[in-house]
Chains A and B, each alone.
Chain A
Amino acid sequence: MKHRQIIGCLLAGALCATPAMAQELTGTLKNVKETGAITLGFRDSSIPFSYLDDNQKPVGYAMDICYKIVDAVKKELKLDKLEVKLNPVTSSTRIPLLANGTIDLECGSTTNNAERQKQISYTNTHFLTASRYVTKKASKINAIDDLKGKSVVSTAGTTNIKQLTEANAARGLNINIIPAKDHAEAFLMVETDRAVAFVMDDILLASLVAGSKAPDDYTISKDAFSKPEPYGIMLRKDDPAFKKVVDAATSALYTGGEAQKIYDKWFTQKIPPKGLNLNTPISAELKNEFAKPSDSPDPDSYK
Chain B
Amino acid sequence: MNYNWNWHIFFEPNPTGAGTYLDLLVSGLWLTIKTALLAWIIALIFGTIIGILRSLPSKAASWISFCYVEFFRNMPLLVQLFLWFFVLPELLPRTAGLWLKQLPNAPFWTAAIGVGLFMSARVAVQLAAGIASLPRGQKQAATALGLTTTQGYRYVLLPMAFRIIMPPLTSEFLNTVKNTSVAITIGLIELTGQARAMQEFSFQVFEAFTAATIMYLAINIIVVTGMRFLERSLAIPGYITGK
Contacts and interface: CB of A to CB of B under 8 A. Distances in A.
Given A115-B15, A166-B17, A181-B184, A192 B199 contact: no
A157 B201 CA distance: 6
Interface in A128-178: 151, 153, 156-159, 162, 165-166, 169, 176, 178
Interface stretch (B68-76, B96-104, B155-163, B226-234): B96-104
A171 to B, nearest CB: 15
A236 interface: yes
A91 B16 CA distance: 19
A99 B206 CA distance: 11
B11 interface: no
Given A119-B204, A120-B203, A92 B196 contact: yes
A116 B203 contact: yes
A286 to B, nearest CB: 24
A237 B4 CA distance: 9
B201 A96 contact: no
A119 B4 contact: yes
A145 to B, nearest CB: 20
Given A115-B203, A156-B196, A237-B2, A192 B187 contact: no
Interface in A158-209: 158-159, 162, 165-166, 169, 176, 178-181, 185, 188-189, 192-194
Contacts of B104: 176
Interface residues of B, number: 34
Interface in B1-48: 1-4, 6, 15-17
Q: Is the interface of A mostly helix, strand, loop or mixed?
A: mixed
Contact of A157 (B2, B4, B102, B200): B200
For chain B, what secondary structure do more than half of its interface residues adopt (helix, strand, loop), or is it mixed?
helix
A180 B82 CA distance: 13
Given A119-B204, A157-B199, A100 B3 contact: yes
Contacts of A118: 4, 6, 203
Interface residues of A, number: 37
Interface in A86-132: 91-92, 95-96, 99-101, 115-116, 118-120
A237 B206 CA distance: 17
Given A119-B204, A162-B15, A165-B16, A156 B189 contact: yes
A115 B202 contact: yes
A71 interface: no
A165 B197 CA distance: 14
B15 A179 contact: no
B2 A239 contact: yes
Contacts of A169: 17
A176 B203 CA distance: 27
Contacts, number: 90
A238 interface: yes
Contacts of B202: 115-116, 119
Contacts of B90: 192
B185 interface: yes
Interface string B183-199: 01111010001001111
A188 B186 CA distance: 11
A118 B47 CA distance: 50
B2 A194 contact: no
Given A92-B196, A95-B203, A239-B2, A180 B15 contact: no
Contact of A238 (B2, B101, B107, B187): B2
Given A92-B199, A193-B98, A194-B106, A181 B187 contact: yes
16 contacts: A91-B200, A100-B3, A119-B202, A119-B204, A156-B184, A156-B200, A169-B17, A176-B104, A178-B107, A180-B187, A185-B187, A193-B101, A194-B89, A194-B106, A237-B4, A239-B2
Given A116-B203, A119-B203, A181-B186, 4 more contacts: A101-B2, A156-B187, A169-B17, A179-B193
Interface of B: 1-4, 6, 15-17, 86, 89-90, 98, 101-102, 104, 106-107, 184-187, 189, 193, 196-206
Interface of A: 91-92, 95-96, 99-101, 115-116, 118-120, 151, 153, 156-159, 162, 165-166, 169, 176, 178-181, 185, 188-189, 192-194, 236-239
